[in-house]
Amino acid sequence: MAGFNKVVDTYEEALAGLTDSMTVIAGGFGLCGIPEGLIAHIKTMGVKDLTVVSNNCGVDGFGLGLLLEDKQISKMVSSYVGENALFEKQLLNGELEVELTPQGTLAEKMRAGGAGIPAFYTATGYGTPVGEGKEVKEFDGRPYILEHAITGDFAIVKAWKADKFGNCVFRHTAQNFNPMAATAGKITVVEVEEIVEPGTLSPSEIHTPGIYVNRIIKGEFEKRIERRVVTKEAV
């Protein structure tokens, strides 16, 4: 990696500097648009006591679920936990701290963090356990709770294409949380399906500008489906 070229060749280079007790923001929704190779390498590194911010925690044996196997995650900030039995077990046993956050609020926490906005008000969660202990303010007669932005030591993101300068394009629903996550990391690492030369991408198709991206690595993706439902064709 030299000059404006942000491409690295190995996962060791991609995640250099990640250590125990750091906060990692991960893009993806379910198993869609997750940085599979980066997650797998974090497991290999063996770093511990991580705070992970992501919509959910993968499934047993895949995605972020891999990091639960050796209890590498000490705190999870997420909005959905339903597809992972090990996650449920560690939560109920008190081995894993979980901060459940409404999905839209979680996305806005990332976006605000990336934009340098320290906090924002939202009506979502008011009058529920989500709002307990949080500052409340009324606007136009409606109560809102104060939510703080999120930033991470690392953000790990999956994109469809990127040029060598770090400009990223996401594909269809795999976009999900990835653009917000990409802006909120002190070091943002993007795992991509295809790397192209600068100037190949039209400015109008770029979702995340390279200014937010520190490292790019080309990955190989299994793209596993969480739950496949097959129906018989009507006769």
234 within domain boundaries: no
Q: Is residue 3 part of a domain?
A: no
**Residue 182 amino acid letter:** A
Pull the structure tokens for residue 78.
């997420």
Write down the pLDDT at residue 3: 66
Backbone angles phi, psi at 173, to 5 degrees: -70, -10
Position 133 in a domain: yes
Q: Which of 28-32, 58-62, 166-170, 219-223 has the lowest mean pLDDT?
A: 219-223
Backbone phi and psi for residue 72, each to the nearest 5 degrees, phi listed first: -80, -20
Other Cβ atoms within 10 Å of 117 Cβ, number: 13
Burial of 232 (0-12, 13-18, 19+ CB in 10 A): exposed
The confidence band for 223, taking pLDDT boundaries of 50, 70 and 90, is confident
**Any idea which residue has 């739950």 for tokens?**
227
3-state SS track over 155-213: EEEEEEEEECCCCEECCHHHCCCHHHHHHCEEEEEEEEEEEECCCCCCHHHCCECHHHC
Does 227 reside within a domain?
Answer: no
pTM: 0.92
What pLDDT, on a 0 to 100 scale, did the predictor assign at position 232?
Answer: 72
Look at residue 124 and tell me if it is in a domain: yes
Residue 207 forms part of a structural domain:
yes
The model's pLDDT over 89-119, given as tens digits with 9 standing for 90+, comes to: 999 999 999 999 999 999 999 999 999 999 9
- Please state, for a pLDDT cut of 70, what percent of the chain lies above it: 96
CATH of the domain at 184: 3.40.1080.10
Q: What percent of the chain has pLDDT over 90?
A: 87
Please check whether residue 233 lies inside any domain of the structure: no
| Sequence-distant (≥ 6) Cβ neighbours of residue 47 within 8 angstroms | 18, 19, 20, 22, 72
Q: Both ends of the chain: CA-CA distance in Å?
A: 58
State the total domains in the chain: 1
Domain annotation covers residue 20: yes
Q: Position 122: which residue type?
A: T
CA dihedral 30→34→36→39, nearest 10 degrees, is: -90
* Per-chain mean pLDDT for the chain: 94
For residue range 40-79, list pLDDT tens digits in order.
Answer: 999 999 999 999 999 999 998 999 999 999 999 999 999 9
Q: What is the span of the domain harbouring residue 168?
A: 11-218
Phi and psi for 85 in degrees, rounded to 5? Answer: -65, -35
β-bridge mates for residue 24, sequence order = 52, 154
Assess contact for 88 and 112: CB atoms under 8 A: no
Rounded-to-integer distance, Cα 214 and Cα 211, Å? 8
